Chains A and B, each alone.
Chain A
Amino acid sequence: MARRSASILSRLLANPSSPFIAPSRSITYMPRPGDGAPRTVTLIPGDGIGPLVTGAVEQVMEAMHAPVHFERYEVRGNMRRVPEEVIESVKRNKVCLKGGLATPVGGGVSSLNMQLRKELDIFASLVNCINFPGLATRHENVDIVVIRENTEGEYSGLEHEVVPGVVESLKVITKFCSERIARYAFEYAYLNNRKKVTAVHKANIMKLADGLFLESCREVAKHYSGITYNEIIVDNCCMQLVAKPEQFDVMVTPNLYGNLIANTAAGIAGGTGVMPGGNVGAEHAIFEQGASAGNVGNDKIVEQKKANPVALLLSSAMMLRHLRFPTFADRLETAVKQVIQEGKCRTKDVGGDCTTQEVVDAVIAALE
């Protein structure tokens, strides 16, 4: 007790000007006996900045003594397929933490991110775009969760050349997938005390495809009378996001629009380097950087080791909650938010000049 108050006191005296974020503790969390047994999580470092940021997560987990054990597998973006052993491992462990996998442009290799999601049927992708206190952005009061269908839509990968110079790509929308993503979105809103769900579409042009998506959303909305439901066309949505983002709460979208909306919302709230997110299916979950998972940075960032680990750290906090270790999740989140608020240690994409390691050290120091 004395040791704890001493550390709090020393922190207060050290920087009297910065507001001290009181750590919130889930004191009412009552575990089942045996819940504390360490869980194994598949770890895929990935390409580019991937190994840097997953290394950061590993360091922080160790500093916290979290009951998580990582099983590391090397996967590169230019492999033809995700190796069988990796998929087996994720099926066994049920949870995976992953850095980005770069997909070579026009290379004839299908995206490995997509392949993982389709094979493990991880149909919902979630990004929480929220303003962090201390991180100044042009927009205030942003707190948007974008839930995006992950397996079909424009990303079906069904393309062919009809005649030389004419190429077709198929966008597939099914009632089954649209219904389950709509159900997931409303359930999420209900369980997280969210008041509004907005469906994003382009049904004035793609009447059948997006029309089917909208029908499914409307049907599910009928079962949740406490949650407001509305629809918005995707180009209007982007315009409203940059003008008045506070009107959005939870957004449910098909695959491609979800990608764009998630990146736009992440951009207005501070950038994809800080937004947490994850992908979840009925049986498995993959946690990665919130938006733009295929963006693995450029060589300069990798060389200088200045990648931003905040997004993956916050996603790993989401992972800890998913694994039913809420206290560790709270501690990690508080520490990261404190580091962001203090503003002394920031990487280049949010206006500072620190390296990844410096941010990690600051987070570990801020841990309780």
Chain B
Amino acid sequence: MDLTGRFHNLFISGLVSGESINVNLFQVQRSKKSPLCLFPLCVLLRLEAITMAAFLARRLIGNRSSQILGTSSSSSGAFISVARAFSSSTTPIKATLFPGDGIGPEIAESVKQVFTAADVAIDWDEHFVGTEVDPRTNSFLTWESLQSVLKHKVGLKGPMATPIGKGHRSLNLTLRKELNLYANVRPCYSLPGYKTRYDDVDLITIRENTEGEYSGLEHQVVKGVVESIKIITRKASMRVAEYAFLYAKTHGRKKVSAIHKANIMQKTDGLFLQCCDEVARKYPDIEYEKVVIDNCCMMLVKNPALFDVLVMPNLYGDIISDLCAGLVGGLGLTPSCNIGEDGIALAEAVHGSAPDIAGKNLANPTALLLSGVMMLRHLKLNKQAEQIHSAIINTIAEGKYRTADLGGTSTTTDFTKAICDHL
């Protein structure tokens, strides 16, 4: 049996037995073949080995490993995407799908249909929100759901309605904390064919998702006086600034604007700006500017074409990203993607679960579909992402099939079918 066959057998046996594959590499190196022909095989095996080792380690150690391995996030992220590129041609990619509540299941069905019609090789791992609080996560989201996202590293989430009550964390908060989702990316562009007051919007808002004003640290000092603490750390600011500039570079964007109120909040927003400045110096070919938030709001409603990529702390990001969504037509058309450490990406539809039209085949799946496209781009399946994206844009532009919220009369299934036809 030749060398390749032997490696393959060793590898498979390693998988079956669940042991670390390093043993096999050692055996490979002991072979007396020349190092030159061993090299590509070594690289391939090492990648597979590290990926496998990472998956297994995570299973064994539990989610604390994401913090242990967190320091080498960028390098392992790169390895994982390369491994995925190797594997995409042969095996389907596994992704977690949270259909959500209300109109969630219908629009998730839409997404599955469109993806199948576009030949996207994704194996969906569906998880539903439970009806009881899971003590391991202290929320309605089960431990298995979280583990699934951690394992597959990509997910698509429909709208979830947080049940009212105490004693458990909100679903979004659980996902954010457990998966360490630090950046929320929301591209806002005018859809040709759907006319709003603004026609030339094409911008991306990147919002820091973990700290800032939303730390939840409030207390009553004395009766009638309340303090709320806003926290800005160098680590989180650097993380989101790095991501913003990386995103701008990989997507061919020309300008990054950092939004702040550092003239009033000098130390906190000042630190955020410092971090953005530092990262900007590493990308000299991307234009960088700093805009005070009140000016930014005004410029956005007067002339949104002035902005390209916006990076900001938590609260401003919340407000500005919703403002931009309003400019292009509302939350029903806006995709969004949450980026976590280790290359985790959870794309989600940010609109509500619309319980009043649930089950009536009236929902608009555009937001979830566009989020799915963002997920595909993250997985570097750009060709199919582009195909699906054009199909959606053309369907809406044509105007024959539009759901009720866009002013038409089509049902969800008709709209989906029209998109599949456009592919």
Instruction: Spell out A's residues near B (CB within 8 Å).
Output: 103-108, 110-111, 114, 138-139, 154-155, 157, 159-161, 164-176, 202, 205-209, 211-212, 234-236, 238-243, 256-257, 259-260, 262-264, 266-268, 271-272, 291-292, 294-295
Contact = CB atoms under 8 A, between A and B. Distances in A.
Contacts of B218: 206-209
17 contacts: A154-B213, A154-B230, A159-B266, A166-B231, A166-B232, A167-B270, A170-B229, A171-B230, A173-B226, A209-B226, A209-B228, A241-B323, A242-B301, A259-B293, A260-B293, A263-B295, A292-B294
Interface of B: 197-198, 213-214, 216, 218-220, 223-235, 260-268, 270-271, 273, 290, 292-295, 297-302, 315, 318-323, 325-327, 330-331
Contact of B301 (A105, A106, A176, A264): A264
B301 to A, nearest CB: 4
Contact of B228 (A138, A161, A208): A208
A155 B264 contact: yes
Contacts of B266: 105-108, 110, 159
Nearest to A206: B228
Nearest to B218: A208
Contacts of A272: 298
B265 A267 contact: no
A208 B229 contact: no
Contact of A159 (B197, B265, B323, B330): B265
Given A169-B231, A238-B297, 10 more contacts: A111-B264, A165-B233, A166-B233, A212-B226, A238-B326, A242-B197, A267-B297, A267-B301, A271-B302, A295-B295
Nearest to A209: B228
Contacts of B322: 235-236, 238-239
A164 B301 CA distance: 37
Nearest to B327: A242
A111 B263 contact: yes
A167 B271 contact: yes
A263 B297 contact: yes
A114 B227 contact: no
Nearest to B223: A175
Contacts of A260: 293-294, 297, 319
A85 to B, nearest CB: 25
B325 A291 contact: no
A264 B299 CA distance: 8
Contact of A263 (B226, B227, B268, B298): B298
B319 A234 contact: yes
Contacts of A242: 197-198, 301, 323, 326-327
A47 to B, nearest CB: 13
A182 to B, nearest CB: 14
A167 B298 contact: no
User: Main SS of the interface on chain A?
Assistant: mixed
Contacts of B301: 241-242, 264, 267-268
A188 to B, nearest CB: 22
Contacts, number: 181
Contacts of B198: 138, 242
A243 B319 contact: no
Contacts of A263: 294-295, 297-298
Contacts of A240: 326
A250 to B, nearest CB: 19
A134 to B, nearest CB: 17
Contacts of A207: 218
Contact of A174 (B197, B225, B318, B326): B225
A292 B213 contact: no
Given A166-B233, A169-B230, A267-B299, A159 B268 contact: yes
A106 B272 CA distance: 11
B135 to A, nearest CB: 24
A168 B295 contact: no
Contacts of B228: 170-171, 173, 206, 208-209
Contact of A259 (B233, B294, B318, B325): B294
A167 B225 contact: no
Contacts of A176: 224
B229 A169 contact: yes
B267 A264 contact: no
B326 A103 contact: no
Contacts of A154: 213, 230, 264-265
A242 B220 CA distance: 35
Contacts of B220: 208
A168 B318 contact: no
Contact of A239 (B223, B270, B298, B326): B326
A170 B227 contact: yes
A172 B297 contact: no
Contacts of B216: 205
Contacts of A243: 326, 330
List the 5 shortest-distance A-B pairs measured between CB atoms, nearest first.
Answer: A239-B326, A165-B234, A175-B224, A267-B301, A235-B322
A111 B294 CA distance: 15
Point out which of B235, B315, B320 has the most chain A C-beta atoms below 10 A from its C-beta.
Answer: B315
A172 B224 CA distance: 10
A104 B263 CA distance: 6
A104 B266 CA distance: 10
Nearest to B326: A239
B159 to A, nearest CB: 15
Contact of A105 (B214, B262, B294, B318): B262
A271 B299 CA distance: 9
A138 B99 CA distance: 37
Contacts of B264: 103, 111, 114, 154-155, 157
From A169, A172, A207, A208, residue with most partner B Cβ within 10 Å: A169
B326 to A, nearest CB: 3
Given A105-B262, A138-B197, A175 B297 contact: no
Contacts of B233: 165-167
Nearest to A238: B323
Contact of A167 (B214, B260, B267): B267
